[in-house]
Amino acid sequence: MAVDARDANGQQKILRIWTQTFASPLQSASSKVSGATGGFFQQIWNFRGTAAENEQLKERLAQAERDLHAARLSEAENERLKSLLGLNEKSEVQSIPARVIARDPSVWFNTITINRGSSAGVAVNMPVVTGGGIVGRVITVSPWASQVMLITDEKAGAGAVVGQLGQSGALGSVRGRADLGVGVIEMRYVSGLEQVELGDYVMTTGQDGIYPPGLTVGKVVDVKKGSATQAHQILIQPGAQLDHLEEVAVLLYHPPQRSTPQQTLQNAEKPKDR
């Protein structure tokens, strides 16, 4: 006897939108209060290792500056090569920063609520990411808040490739598994003939029609090698810290429209209307 009233498009449940609209200001406030309280105690705790951490950070900063310099050189080189090839630089996908204001109250499902909704331009099925990698996709939108299904949910999925898109043939799809928890996701359908190693990065392919290609999914933490007739069994640690999400970005990504495949054979005779 599930309440299943949906909106005019039939994509979202009206009750969920209404509840989200009224609950989001409350959840936003409680999230701020809990964040401030937690942050205060965390700061006190953090004083203990400040000196050692400072040294480490200095080293990492120096390393990051070197990497940044190298990356800039590569980018410039990339630009030059692209212009030589006459390729048009595609515009970057625009994003909306959002704050996580609540998590699924029922503990049975892996969803989060963010403080951006249709008034900010968020729509159903838009991808949500962090700097570390993909987080999930928007499943419900109300004016000021949206619900996001995490990539670790059993019903979530994404087309992915082990390694770089275009260079690797280790294509498959990632999805959550109840028995693995939120720390690990599974990658399936990767041919057993492809080379997959621990620590390899997994990227999106864009074939799912939700995530743009080239986003980080995570890295390989376990591989049970397959064979010519059996796919690899791959476990991936998500790049995004899904247990400690605070800020995310919603990508205003509209996947390219696919043409409907022609259902009739060209040479087949059509039945005559009688």
Partner 1 sequence: MSQLKIAAVLLISIVLQLSLRAVWKPLAYIDFPLVVVVYIALQRDAWQALVVGTLAGLIVDAQSGGLIGAGGFSKTLTAYIIFFGATKVNLENPLLRIPVLAAATVVDSAIYVFLHRLLGYPPGVTLMQTISYKLIATTVVGTLVLYMLDSVMSGESSQRRQFATRRRVARRSTGPLRRR
Q: Which residues bind partner 1 (CB under 8 A)?
A: 1-4, 13, 15-16, 18-20, 23, 26-27, 30-31, 34, 38, 100-111, 113, 139, 147, 149, 152-155, 176, 178-179, 181, 243
Q: Shortest Cβ distance from residue 41 to partner 1 (Å)?
A: 12
Q: Give the residue with the Cβ less far from partner 1, 27 or 205.
A: 27
Q: Shortest Cβ distance from residue 202 to partner 1 (Å)?
A: 20
DSSP letters of 190-255?
--TTS---TT-EEEE-STTSSSPTT-EEEEEEEEE---SSS--EEEEEESS-GGG--EEEEE---P
Q: Shortest Cβ distance from residue 142 to partner 1 (Å)?
A: 10
* Residue where the block lists tokens 């050692």: 52
Q: Give the residue with the Cβ less far from partner 1, 152 or 216.
A: 152
Q: Give the residue with the Cβ less far from partner 1, 84 or 107.
A: 107
User: Could you give the 3-state DSSP secondary structure of residue 261?
Assistant: coil
Dihedral, 215, 219, 225, 229 alpha carbons, nearest 10: -10
Q: Give the residue with the Cβ less far from partner 1, 148 or 251.
A: 148
DSSP code, position 178:
G
Q: Shortest Cβ distance from residue 238 to partner 1 (Å)?
A: 14
CB-count exposure of residue 103 (10 Å: 0-12, 13-18, 19+): middle
Q: Shortest Cβ distance from residue 18 to partner 1 (Å)?
A: 8
Phi, psi of 132 (to 5 degrees): -80, -30
Q: Shortest Cβ distance from residue 190 to partner 1 (Å)?
A: 22
Q: Give the residue with the Cβ less far from partner 1, 138 or 190.
A: 138
Closest CA to 158 of 206, 200, 126: 206
Q: Give the residue with the Cβ less far from partner 1, 147 or 204.
A: 147
Q: Shortest Cβ distance from residue 150 to partner 1 (Å)?
A: 9
What is the C-alpha separation between 197 and 14, in angstroms, rounded?
46
Q: Give the residue with the Cβ less far from partner 1, 3 or 84.
A: 3
Beta strand spans in the chain (E): 95-103, 111-114, 127-129, 134-141, 146-150, 158-162, 171-175, 185-188, 201-204, 216-224, 233-238, 247-251
